[in-house]
Amino acid sequence: MDSGETYIKMCDCPEIQKQRVIANGDFEVRFKHNRGQVEIHHHREITAHYKPEDHLWLPRQDQLQEMVTGDLTSKVYSFYIFTHPESACLHGNRETGYFNREYCKICTDERNRIFRTFTSMEQLWLAFVMKELHNKLWDGAKWIAQELDKASRTVRGDLNGDEEEEEWET
């Protein structure tokens, strides 16, 4: 179970926290304001003294997988496409109509970014959930909205602090 600083930052967003159903077995971060410390613990028992607002939920991999709808086959396929975008590449050369799925620079760069950015399965699955359900990408510090401009057929995101546009073709 990832309990590192990056995963904690990634989980600290309303899109994930609002999906929590408090249950025994949850992992959470409790911020101790008086000492500036962070406690990570495995939630065992709900008592009358428990205050959910004082805790940040860290979803386990199985909880993240449950957030994505569909049967097992569609989940596995979608996750594979997320981690290997070149396998469903729609980029190509307009003039020749040639599609080279293995060597598409756009897709290869995205695959490399994914595997450089995420260092645990929880981080990878959280990134997949945020992209699938909320159309957001992790830029290394925060979630950013990704929008598809259908008129110009571009994907817009701000992964490097600059507004980027990348053309794609079908």
Query: How do residues 108-125 score in pLDDT, each as one tens digit?
Result: 888 899 999 999 999 999
Mean pLDDT of 24-53: 66
CA-to-CA separations, 142 to 59, 70, 84, 127, in angstroms, rounded: 17, 27, 23, 11
pLDDT band (50, 70, 90) for residue 50: low
Interstrand relation of 147-149 and 154-157 (parallel, antiparallel or unpaired): antiparallel
Which position has the token pair 């607002």? 53
Token pair in block for residue 61: 């991999």
Provide the sign of the torsion angle of the four alpha carbons 84, 86, 88, 91, taken in this order. Answer: positive
Stated pTM of the model = 0.75
| Higher pLDDT, residue 33 or 89 | 89
pLDDT at residue 73, rounded to an integer: 92
pLDDT band (50, 70, 90) for residue 39: low
Q: What are phi and psi of 60, to 5 degrees?
A: -75, 165
% residues pLDDT > 70 (the chain): 65
Residues in the chain: 170
Domain ranges of the chain: 5-167
pLDDT at residue 49, rounded to an integer: 64
pLDDT band (50, 70, 90) for residue 100: low
Q: How many helices and strands (H and E) does the chain possess?
A: 6, 8
pLDDT at residue 89, rounded to an integer: 75
